[in-house]
A and B are shown apart, each in its own frame.
Chain A
Amino acid sequence: MNWKRVAMSFLFSLPVIGLLAFGLTRDPRTIDSPLPGRPAPDFTLPIFENGEGTVSLSELRGQVVVLNFFASWCLECRYEHAALAMASSMYRPQGVQFFAVLYNDTPEKGRRWIEQMGGQPYPALYDEGSRTAIDYGLYGVPETFIIDRNGLVVQKKIGPWSFDELTAAIDKALAIEAVDAPTDGPEAVKPTAAAVQGGAE
């Protein structure tokens, strides 16, 4: 064995391994989304579980909204369900509204899934034809949007939440004050949002 050469080959290997190790710390999936900082697309969706009637985002101005897309066939959704359920109860006093939006699934299966998961304290909405999912540029499920009091998307998360991560994100959204008093009607959404963006610059 020629040990000098062995040592040299070792030195040659290190930068290659270092580079690959660096690559491992990067997340190739962090795709820049145009949504954070922009107004959340409005929707009006029927509630199929935990409530009745419909929900419109525009009527929720002045409240922080957690919008979670899920499906009964999605395994990762199971992992984050407990965190979402717990957080929704914890933040109810502060007026944070949680909604689960069913993605490419039937309400009947969604209802049975929620039952399997031990129920959930917030309403589940049915997005027929995935219109809302398309508006939000959904990448996959689970995917969650946190919307502040001004109707702007504060954070978008692809993949399951951990409880700490979720509460940190909600706290961040809660720290943002409402710029304008909530007005009625979706027409008011855009001017308000423009004012916010203008003010931030």
Chain B
Amino acid sequence: MLRLIGSFTVWASLALAVYGLIAGIVGVRTRNAALSRSARAASYTIFGLMTVSNLAMIAALVSHDFSVDYVARVGSRSTPLFFTVISLWSALEGSILFWGWVLAGYTAAALYFTKDRLGPMGAYANATMLGIGAFFYLLLVRPANPWGLVSPAPLDGPGPNPLLQNHPLMAVHPPFLYLGYVGMSVPFSFAIGALLSGRLDDAWVRASRKWTVFAWAMLSLAIMAGMWWSYEVLGWGGYWAWDPVENASFMPWLTATAFLHSVMVQERRDMLQVWNLSLVISTFLLTILGTFLTRSGVISSVHAFTEGTIGLYFLSFIAFVLIFSLALLAGRSSELRKHGHLDSMLSRETVFLVNNLLLTAFTFTVLLGTLFPLVAEAVRGVKVTVGAPFFNRMTVPIMVALLFLMGVGPMLPWRVANVEELKRKLLVPTLAMIVTLGTAVVLGMRDFWGLLAFAFAAFALSGNIQEYVRGTAARRRAQGGGWLRAFGGLINANPRRYGGYFAHIGLILAAIGITASTVFRVERQATLQVGESVTIGEYTVRFDGMRGQQEPQRFVVGANMTVFVDGRDVGTLFPRLNFYRMSAEPIATPAVRTRPDNDLYLTLLAFNEQDGSTATLSVIVEPLVGWIWVGGVMVTIGALFGIWPRRRAPAPVVSRKRTAGVA
């Protein structure tokens, strides 16, 4: 029954998407209002259908209906309910089903918030969304069909990939990733809508800006949650390995970040039209490319051997989108004349231009590193991978430069800076930079890029905080009242700007965390007898024996460890190995003690299987790792604060921008 409902809903979604796509385009071309209305109705209906389809899948998973192909692949009677529900996105077919749901949601929401106010551009944008949708629903009925029949139904299934049922963060990371990834199709659709309808002013930019910020915020959170997950689960004490899966999520984030900045230049100064369209198109293409590159399952599963043809589908889709959107952009480029020009090198738009160049270079580097094995194999026929050293060498200088820009940008006004004003604003950040640099050198730090990163982080951090302080002081002088009221008034008067600075601060804190945990990481490995201990930094860790426990879906063996800080007992940690029934290798779960200044990270590597008298552990102390997670959350909060709907009149920025555009 569930299988029939599920199959019907995806087929109906495909049919409606194709219908809506054609009806939408024909409707706008022939000015047939009824057709256009039916295209919009199709978008809403698809959302309903996909909602039913996803709920049906959850029901099938929860009721262990192993006659459903996807349930037979990822379900298991012994998996706890929570992990059963989230196994909706633990393998390829389910993740595409979920993707389809999110996409249908975005399509309906974008339509709901714009209605038919955007005219032909909106109609084309909706048609584009439906076109993307048609592709994903096609995947769901052909190569990634989760609703296939398994007959006779198996008695039990293998359960989701053990790595994916090991940590609750798996409930957080994928949905946010999809909200981010799929969200990028909204600005893409508005851009295509603008190009198709020939409405090349910045209407598409205004229509899509909030969507981009929202998708970007979700993607930021997803990347951070992914880092956190790999830190908490994979057991090597790291959070980023330049793995293709990670790069796939990072590249669109970089281009979207570039867009968020360059779009302000278009709004304020009427420049960079072609560039912004290119960024939006690239961002969307990179999300599809990322999915293509990691096609063998969201994370290559231990027992997923569906070679299938999904790669070919994705390739055809990428080829179509690439050729179609580039040709469209190239064909329209001569109509996209820019009106503005750079007034001064010393202005915010200059910083944004440099920022865009750096972010683009960054994207290309990551893309090159990710695709390099493929290029090498195509050209020389050998399998080569580039690995983390390449990425680190190439990208650390870019990241450090971006840190510096993050400090400079907010200090500079649009058009042209007043040198005296700039000097005043530079004073505190420069002092902070020098003091930080001096302190670090005196304390014995010699790592060149590490020093530079700390110095620029101090510069950028104080630069951004200074904007709040100066703004609040100015407002208090102008309007009176307390500091708190002035501060509240300030950020509410320009949420976009101060939300942005908040995101900057989050990113800077994350950068400090990344630098500190990389440069100052200390690691030891030790084999301990019961009662023995190992000391690392201020920590002493004592091994008190092994403990085993049977859980429904796995058998867990762990080491009881007591932690002492400077001789004082501060509690116990339980690093463990999980034995899942369908996995030959145990999956380690590290035990982490997170504190603001550093993390103590214990991984159980091996133990005496006869009597549990010895345990081999990896003990890592990593400073400031927690700052990365806090920073990541701040980035998201800052971005969302900037677009949060408010019930007051829009800030006067909008009208100023219009006049600037008519030069």
Residues of A that sit less than 8 Å from B by CB: 1-3, 5-6, 8-10, 12-13, 16-17, 19-24, 26-29, 71-76, 103-105, 109, 112-113, 116, 130, 133-134, 138-142, 158-160
Contact = CB atoms under 8 A, between A and B. Distances in A.
Interface string B323-335: 1001101111110
Given A9-B329, A17-B315, A75-B72, A2 B323 contact: no
Interface residues of B, number: 45
A71 B307 CA distance: 19
Interface string B39-83: 000000000000000000000000000000100110010000000
Given A17-B315, A141-B303, 11 more contacts: A9-B323, A12-B326, A17-B318, A26-B377, A72-B154, A73-B72, A104-B584, A113-B155, A130-B584, A140-B303, A160-B305
Contact of A13 (B150, B303, B326): B326
B326 A20 contact: no
A6 B327 contact: yes
Nearest to B304: A140
Secondary structure type dominating chain A contacts: helix
B333 A2 contact: yes
B375 interface: yes
Interface string B119-142: 000000000000000000000000
B373 to A, nearest CB: 9
A9 B300 CA distance: 34
B296 A29 contact: yes
Contacts, number: 109
Given A6-B327, A140-B303, A73 B76 contact: yes
Contacts of B158: 71, 73-74
A19 B315 CA distance: 10
Contact of B152 (A73, A116, A138): A116
B399 to A, nearest CB: 26
Nearest to A112: B155
Nearest to A30: B383
Interface in B277-314: 289, 292-293, 296, 300, 302-303, 305-307, 311-312
B530 interface: no
A17 B322 contact: yes
17 contacts: A2-B330, A2-B332, A13-B323, A17-B318, A19-B375, A19-B378, A20-B374, A21-B315, A23-B293, A29-B296, A73-B76, A75-B69, A75-B73, A103-B584, A104-B582, A105-B581, A140-B305
Nearest to A130: B584
B474 interface: no
B139 to A, nearest CB: 15
A45 to B, nearest CB: 15
Contacts of A17: 315, 318-319, 322-323
B331 A2 contact: yes
B479 interface: no
B319 A109 contact: no
A76 to B, nearest CB: 5
Given A20-B292, A22-B378, A24-B312, A133 B584 contact: yes
Contacts of B374: 19-20, 22-23, 26
Contacts of A130: 584
Given A9-B326, A19-B378, A73 B331 contact: no
Contacts of A158: 305
B435 interface: no
Closest 10 CB pairs of A and B: A5-B330, A159-B305, A9-B326, A1-B331, A9-B330, A140-B303, A73-B158, A6-B327, A17-B319, A6-B331
B361 to A, nearest CB: 18
B311 A24 contact: yes
Nearest to A158: B305
Contacts of B445: none
B431 interface: no
Contacts of B293: 23
Given A109-B156, A159-B307, A1 B292 contact: no
B583 interface: yes
B341 to A, nearest CB: 23
A138 B584 contact: yes
